[in-house]
Amino acid sequence: MSPDTLSVTRFDRNCCAARVTPRATQSSRGCFPFRLYLVVSEDSCLGRDFIDVTRRAIEGGVDIVQLREKEADDTTFLERALRLQEMLSRHDIPLIINDNICVAQLCGAYGIHVGTSDISPPQIRTQWPECQSIGYSIECLSALETNDARAADCFGVSPVFSTLSKTNTITEWGIEGIRQIRALTPKPLIAIGNMNATNAREVIRAGADCIAVISAICAAADPARAAAEIRNEIDKAL
C-alpha cells in the first residue's frame, strides 16, 4: 500500500489490522539521531500548502516531521498523511503522526507521538509492534515513573516556554526543567514550546537532544531560512 496506489474515500479503523511496515530506508536510522523536528499542520502554514512549507523546511535542515491535525476528521488526516509521506520518502525523512495510530499505520509512518490523555505507549506496542518510535509528552516529573514513560522511546518536553499553540499543559519547564529531566532519564528529549533560533542553542546545551518547532518555521515568510537559522544554533551547541 502506498500513497501512489491508495485512493482514500472513507476512513475505516478496521483497516488498521492490515499493518503497513515503515520504509526500510528509515529503519536504519538508529534510536533517535534527529536534531530539528518540524510539527506541521495545514492550519499552521497560514493558507500555504503544508507540503511545500515542509519541503522548504527540509531544505533548511529539518530531519524529522510530525503531522499534527487535531481538528481534521480521520479521512482528511489520512489523506494529508499520505500526501506528506509521499514527499518525505523522496527525501528520506521520517514521518511521525500525532495521536492517531490508525493513520500512522495506514500511511506507513516511522512512529507516533502521544500525550497523557491519548492512547498509551504500552497499547501502541501491542497494537503496532513494528512502530519504530513512540514519543510521549512529559508535563510533570512524576510522569517519568509511569509505565507509559517506560514504554516510550523518547520524550517531548512540553512546553519548554509558554506558547499559544499548546494551552492545555501543566508545566512550563524552562531551561532548568530541561536540566532536571536530563538528569533523570537517558532517553532522547525533544524540546517543544515557543522554540526558535534565539533559544535553541541554550536548550540543547541544557540537555535536549532535539528541537521541535511549529510557528517559527511554519509561519515564517521563508521556511527554509528559518529552519537553517535554528539548525545552525543547534549545531553550534553540539
Q: For residue 159, is the peptide bond before it cis, meaning its omega torsion is within 30 degrees of 0?
A: yes
Task: State the total domains in the chain.
Answer: 1
Nearest Cα neighbor of 61 from 238, 237, 188, 226 is 226
pLDDT classification of 178: cutoffs 50, 70, 90: very high
CATH number of the domain where residue 40 is located = 3.20.20.70
Does a structural domain hold residue 24? no
72 within some domain: yes
Check if the beta carbon of residue 40 is closer than 8 Å to that of residue 65.
Answer: yes
pLDDT 10s digits, 33-84: 999 999 999 999 999 999 999 999 999 999 999 999 999 999 999 999 999 9
Give yes or no for a contact between 66 and 98, defined as CB atoms under 8 angstroms apart: yes
Specify if 8 maps to a domain.
no
Cell 522511546 found at:
153
Domain range holding 162?
A: 33-237
Q: Assess whether pLDDT exceeds 80 at residue 132.
A: yes
Q: Which of 137, 124, 231 is nearest to 187 (CA)?
A: 137
- Residue 53 CA to residue 227 CA, distance in Å, equals 11
So what's the pLDDT on residue 162? 85
Contact call for residues 152 and 158 (beta carbons, < 8 A): no
* Residue 138 included in any domain: yes
Residue 12 in any domain: the answer is no
The pTM score is 0.89
CB neighbours (10 Å) of residue 205?
14
CA distance 124 to 163: 28
Asked, for residue 1, whether it belongs to a domain, the answer is: no
Q: Rounded mean pLDDT of 150-175?
A: 84
In a domain, 27, yes or no: no
Asked whether residue 8 carries a pLDDT value surpassing 90, the answer given is: no
Does 75 fall in a domain? yes
Q: Which of 45, 38, 42, 40 is nearest to 64 (CA)?
A: 38
Name the packing angle between helices 223-237 and 50-60 (round to 10°): 40
Residues 109, 114, 117, 122: is their CA dihedral positive or negative?
Answer: positive
Q: Which pLDDT score is estimated for 14? A: 57
